[in-house]
């Protein structure tokens, strides 16, 4: 009834903790934070402010894509378990249960406890809800504040499957007026899909690594828009143009550094899901490690805007490795970066956007035979990195659109090249902007060249 596969003592301790969280949320608030009422009010106001700055439309698109990629239901909830987004991929059973007031509150309560449990343990919480379905929760933390959780699942496990770490919330609630007494709900419940515990657990940990990052990106977009408006208003009032232009530039650059293409994340997750279904998880393990390294690099960067070139190359290698899993033999890549350059400092996240541009415009449109070559060398003063593909090239007009961040890719703007070009010019001057050379002929390819000083003092920036 509690946690499958756990010792009695451990299970009882965990069970006690879960019940305490579920039945006495006010006690949890006092234990977890130990702050006076004024501070609690201030913290609640801060959470409200963070939520206001987030783009709900963007979160909805990200959530919908993840649900389709992984094949599970998904919703983002606030700390009380109340949905912030519209549900994605919900089963008919769960839609029907949540449409009824007497059970909807139980759904919210299970989700709230699941999210707070994940927050307190630092791990995804996998639990059985009041309706005997299995969900998992990943906490959303932005600027140190717990804003809620991403809830996924609404599935069944095989009856004989061992599920270590699964917590049962179903008997927290009284048994009277059970959904199981409703024939229509029983029929809908019987149609809910079964998945393996290992597949569910893999999805839980993948989501755990990226949940806060997805919301952080949405938050940073709202912050950037607000900073832009506030800085312009302040410029008009105080006429301190030089000071405010610097602040605006810093805000724009920080926002640019937050932007990582969520479509790529979902392609990777989709690849992981397919591998897990067709093999015994051997290659999947390497894929997850590469993906985890990428997320760690993106999310755990320190305050400096500069990193050793080695970390950029490793990040790019992981990125290309994951793309090879998805695209197979459609392209090959070569990284020619001598060891002597590996400790040279470069701006954070300058290589992947350029390689991603090659994938989008030179590799994806072709059936095969694609090639990406990355070569580093020096002219004595600068380190130069050439990224070359063998696609069909781009027109001069398209090149200018790319450098201005106005080029379209599908239903979105392709701003990665503009991001890199803007930062290189800002840090090192106009003569260090990107160079794009392309004859615009079949198979002649495109060369994107970036350069930065071999030595400089990052403290100056």
Q: Which residue has the higher pLDDT, 409 or 188?
A: 188
Q: Does the structure show a pLDDT above 80 at 2?
A: no
Q: What is the mean pLDDT of residues 267-271?
A: 65
Mean pLDDT score across all residues of the chain: 77
Q: Are 353 and 419 in contact (CB under 8 A)?
A: yes
The pLDDT value given to residue 343: 96
Q: Does the structure show a pLDDT above 80 at 423?
A: yes
Q: How far apart are the first and last CA of the chain?
A: 58
Encode pLDDT of 114-155 as tens digits: 999 999 988 888 998 988 899 999 888 877 778 888 899 999
Axis crossing angle, helix 309-327 with helix 282-299, rounded to the nearest 10: 140
Q: Which residue has the higher pLDDT, 277 or 296?
A: 296
d(CA 281, CA 284): 5
The pLDDT value given to residue 328: 87
The pLDDT value given to residue 372: 95
- pLDDT bin (cut points 50, 70, 90) of residue 451 is very high
Q: Which residue has the higher pLDDT, 162 or 350?
A: 350
Q: Does the structure show a pLDDT above 60 at 261?
A: no
Q: Are 98 and 120 in contact (CB under 8 A)?
A: no
Q: If we measure between CA atoms, which residue out of 200, 197, 164, 193 comes closest to residue 273? A: 200
Report how far apart, in Å, the C-alpha atoms of 236 and of each of 150, 158, 241 are: 41, 65, 8
Encode pLDDT of 298-350 as tens digits: 766 656 789 999 999 999 999 998 888 888 889 999 999 999 999 999 988 88
Q: Which residue has the higher pLDDT, 361 or 279?
A: 361
The pLDDT value given to residue 187: 92
Q: Which residue has the higher pLDDT, 175 or 277?
A: 277
- pLDDT bin (cut points 50, 70, 90) of residue 85 is confident
- pLDDT bin (cut points 50, 70, 90) of residue 26 is very low
Least confident of 102-111, 245-254, 266-275, 341-350: 245-254
Q: What is the mean pLDDT of residues 75-97?
A: 91
Q: Which residue has the higher pLDDT, 227 or 102?
A: 102
Domains for the chain: give ranges and CATH numbers: 8-200 (no CATH), 300-460 (3.30.565.10)
Order of strands, sheet of 370-378, starting from the edge strand that comes earlier in the sequence: 331-336, 370-378, 382-389, 446-453, 435-437
d(CA 5, CA 455): 56
The residue assigned the tokens 């009032």 is: 237
- pLDDT bin (cut points 50, 70, 90) of residue 247 is very low
- pLDDT bin (cut points 50, 70, 90) of residue 274 is low
Looking from the CA of 329 toward its CB, the CA atoms found within 13 Å total 0
Q: For residue 374, give the 3-state DSSP assignment.
A: strand
Q: Does the structure show a pLDDT above 80 at 457?
A: yes
Q: If we measure between CA atoms, which residue out of 427, 371, 346, 362 comes closest to residue 398? A: 362
Q: What is the mean pLDDT of residues 289-302?
A: 71
- pLDDT bin (cut points 50, 70, 90) of residue 30 is very low
Reported as type and span, the H/E element at residue 106 is helix 101-121
Q: Does the structure show a pLDDT above 50 at 36?
A: no
Q: Does the structure show a pLDDT above 80 at 252?
A: no
The pLDDT value given to residue 4: 40
Q: Does the structure show a pLDDT above 70 at 62?
A: yes
The pLDDT value given to residue 426: 84
């Amino acid at each position: 009834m509690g946690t499958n596969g756990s010792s009695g003592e451990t299970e009882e301790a965990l069970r006690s903790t879960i019940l305490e969280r579920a039945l006495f949320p006010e006690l949890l608030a006092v234990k977890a934070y130990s702050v006076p009422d004024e501070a609690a009010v201030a913290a609640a106001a801060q959470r409200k402010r963070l939520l206001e700055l987030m783009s709900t439309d963007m979160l909805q698109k990200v959530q919908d894509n993840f649900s389709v990629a992984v094949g599970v239901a998904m919703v983002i909830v606030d700390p009380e378990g109340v949905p912030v987004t519209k549900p994605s991929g919900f089963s008919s059973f769960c839609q029907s249960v949540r449409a009824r007031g007497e059970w909807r509150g139980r759904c919210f309560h299970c989700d709230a406890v699941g999210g707070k449990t994940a927050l307190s343990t630092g791990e995804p919480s996998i639990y059985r809800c009041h309706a005997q379905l299995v969900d998992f929760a990943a906490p959303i933390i932005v600027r140190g504040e717990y804003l809620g959780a991403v809830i996924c699942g609404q599935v069944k496990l095989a009856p004989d499957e061992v599920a270590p770490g699964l917590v049962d919330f179903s008997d927290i609630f009284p048994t009277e007026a059970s959904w199981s007494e409703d024939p229509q709900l029983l029929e809908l419940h019987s149609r809910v899909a079964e998945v393996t515990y290992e597949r569910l657990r893999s999805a839980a940990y993948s989501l755990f690594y990226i949940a806060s990052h997805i919301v952080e990106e949405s938050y940073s977009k709202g912050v950037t828009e607000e900073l832009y408006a506030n800085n312009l208003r302040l410029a008009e009032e105080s006429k301190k143009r030089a000071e405010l232009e610097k602040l605006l530039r810093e805000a724009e650059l920080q926002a640019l550094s937050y932007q990582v293409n969520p479509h790529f994340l979902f392609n990777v997750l989709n690849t992981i899901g397919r591998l897990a279904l067709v093999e015994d998880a051997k290659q999947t393990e390497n894929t997850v490690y590469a993906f985890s390294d990428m997320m760690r690099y993106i999310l755990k960067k320190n305050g400096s805007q500069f990193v050793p070139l080695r970390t950029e190359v490793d990040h790019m290698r992981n990125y290309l490795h994951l793309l090879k899993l998805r695209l197979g033999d459609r392209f090959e890549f070569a990284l020619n970066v001598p060891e002597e350059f590996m400790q040279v400092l470069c701006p954070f996240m300058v290589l992947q956007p350029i390689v991603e541009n090659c994938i989008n415009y030179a590799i994806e449109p072709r059936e095969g035979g694609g090639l990406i070559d990355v070569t580093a060398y020096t002219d004595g003063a600068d380190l130069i990195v050439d990224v070359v593909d063998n696609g069909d090239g781009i027109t001069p007009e398209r090149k200018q659109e790319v450098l201005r961040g106005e080029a379209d890719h599908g239903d979105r703007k392709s701003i990665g090249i503009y991001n890199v070009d803007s930062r290189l010019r800002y840090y090192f001057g106009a003569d260090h902007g990107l160079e794009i050379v392309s004859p615009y002929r079949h198979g002649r390819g495109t060369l994107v060249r970036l350069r930065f000083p071999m030595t400089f003092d990052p403290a100056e920036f």
